[in-house]
C-alpha cells in the first residue's frame, strides 16, 4: 500500500487555519489524556506543520515529528530554524515498517491524523514497536459517530452509512478541508479493536465539546459527539 501525501496541496491552507493556539478544547483534552511529558521522548505521528510538536517541546519533551507530506514538513522545519526547540522532523509513512528502527519513546501522540492515515494497522504496529513498555499513545480525531449537520459532513461517506468503512471526500459546504483531502472512515469498534490487537490498553477517554459561538452556522454541532480523544498504554 503506497500512502498518498494529500496534504502537499493544502499546506498553506492548513497552516493558516490551524495555528499556534493550542487552547482549543480538543488539543487541551489531548494534552490532558497524554499527561506530563516533561523530560520524556515523544513521537508526534502525522505531525503536519508541527504545531503539536512545538507544544510538546514547550512542555519539556524531546520531540520527533513524522509526517508524509513534504510541504507540511517544510513549514515545520522553517519554524524550527527560526525558533529552535530541538525538534527532529522526518518524512515517512507512519506505517513504514522501517520507521525509526531502534528508537524508543516514552509517549506517542497523533493529533487529528488517524483518519488521514490509510494504513491504520501498520501505523499502530509501529507505535507499539516504538513505545517503551508502559508508554502512552494519545490521539484526537473527528468522532467516528459524528452525524454531521447542515453544511458539515458526517464522519462517514455522504452516500453511505456509519458502517461503510472507506476513504471518501466530504461534500458539505463548510467541510472545506475534508473536501480537499478526504478521510478514511472507520467505525469506533474498528479503532478500538485495532488498538487492542496491538497490545494498547485504554487508560482514558474524552469527548470534548467544540468551542462554537451560538450564532455560528456550526452551532448545532454542540449537540453531537464531534471529537474523540483517548490514551492507551503499551502493555
Ligand atoms: C489534519 S493534519 C494534522 C496535523 C497535525 N497533527 C496537527 O494537529 O495540526 C493530518 C496530517 O496527517 C499526515 N498524514 C497523512 N497520512 C500519513 C501517513 N501515512 N504517515 C504520516 N503522516 C500522514 C498529513 O500529511 C497531515 O499532515
Domain membership of residue 149 as a residue range = 3-234
**8 Cα nearest atom in ligand 1:** 25
49-107 pLDDT tens trace: 999 999 999 999 999 999 999 999 999 999 999 999 999 999 999 999 999 999 999 99
pLDDT at 38: 98
* pLDDT for 1 beyond 80: no
**7 Cα nearest atom in ligand 1:** 25
Mean pLDDT of the chain: 97
Ligand 1 pocket, mutate which of 56, 67, 140 (most atoms under 8 A from CB): 67
Give the strand order in the sheet containing 41-45: 88-91, 62-67, 41-45, 105-111, 131-142, 227-234, 200-206
CA separation for the pair 4, 116 (Å, rounded): 10
Average of pLDDT values for 174-195? Answer: 98
CATH number, position 67:
3.40.50.150
Query: What's the Cα-to-Cα distance from 189 to each of 15, 77, 165, 193, 194, rounded to whole Å?
Result: 31, 36, 11, 6, 8
Please state the pTM of the whole predicted model. 0.98
Kindly give the distance from the C-alpha atom of residue 29 to the centroid of ligand 1, in angstroms, as a whole number. 19
For atom 17 of ligand 1, which residue has the closest CA? 117
User: In the 8-state DSSP scheme, what is residue 173?
Assistant: T
134-172 pLDDT tens trace: 999 999 999 999 999 999 999 999 999 999 999 999 999
Cell numbers representing residue 125 in the block: 504496529
- Please count the other Cβ atoms lying within 10 Å of the Cβ belonging to residue 26: 22
**69 Cα nearest atom in ligand 1:** 25
Query: What's the Cα-to-Cα distance from 155 to each of 14, 87, 103, rounded to whole Å?
Result: 19, 32, 34
**Residue 234 CA, distance from chain mean position:** 18
Kindly give the distance from the C-alpha atom of residue 93 to the centroid of ligand 1, in angstroms, as a whole number. 10
Exposed e or buried b for every residue in 30-43, given b needs 16+ CB within 10 A? bbebbeebeebbbb
Could you give the number of structural domains in the chain?
A: 1
Using DSSP, state whether 232 is helix, strand or coil: strand
pLDDT at 2: 85
Ligand 1 pocket, mutate which of 113, 119, 175, 186 (most atoms under 8 A from CB): 113
- Angle at Cα 132 formed by Cα 127 and Cα 135, nearest 5°? 75
pLDDT at 64: 98
Question: What does R_g of the chain's alpha carbons equal in angstroms?
Answer: 17
Using CB distances shorter than 6 Å, the residues near ligand 1 are 3, 5, 7, 18, 46-48, 51-52, 66-69, 72, 93-95, 111-113, 116-118
Amino acid at each position: 500500500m503506497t500512502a498518498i501525501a494529500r496534504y502537499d496541496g493544502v499546506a498553506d491552507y492548513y497552516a493558516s487555519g490551524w495555528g499556534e493556539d493550542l487552547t482549543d478544547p480538543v488539543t487541551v483534552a489531548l494534552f490532558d489524556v497524554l499527561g506530563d511529558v516533561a523530560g520524556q521522548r515523544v513521537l508526534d505521528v502525522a505531525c503536519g506543520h508541527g504545531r503539536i510538536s512545538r507544544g510538546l517541546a514547550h512542555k519539556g519533551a524531546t520531540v520527533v515529528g513524522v509526517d508524509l507530506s513534504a510541504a507540511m514538513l517544510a513549514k515545520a522545519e522553517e519554524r524550527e530554524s527560526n525558533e529552535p526547540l530541538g525538534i527532529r522532523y522526518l518524512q515517512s509513512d507512519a506505517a513504514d515498517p522501517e520507521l525509526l528502527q531502534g528508537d524508543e519513546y516514552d509517549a506517542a501522540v497523533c493529533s487529528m491524523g488517524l483518519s488521514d492515515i490509510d494504513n491504520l494497522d501498520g501505523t499502530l504496529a509501529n507505535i507499539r514497536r516504538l513505545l517503551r513498555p508502559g508508554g502512552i499513545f494519545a490521539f484526537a480525531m473527528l468522532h467516528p459517530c459524528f452525524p454531521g449537520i447542515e453544511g458539515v459532513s458526517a464522519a462517514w461517506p455522504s452516500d453511505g452509512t456509519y458502517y461503510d468503512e472507506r476513504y471518501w471526500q466530504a461534500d458539505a459546504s463548510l467541510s472545506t478541508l475534508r473536501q480537499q483531502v478526504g478521510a478514511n472512515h472507520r467505525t469506533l469498534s474498528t479503532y478500538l479493536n485495532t488498538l487492542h490487537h496491538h497490545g494498547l490498553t485504554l487508560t482514558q477517554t474524552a469527548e470534548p465539546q467544540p468551542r462554537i459561538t451560538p450564532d455560528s452556522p456550526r452551532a448545532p454541532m454542540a449537540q453531537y459527539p464531534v471529537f474523540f480523544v483517548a490514551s492507551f498504554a503499551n502493555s
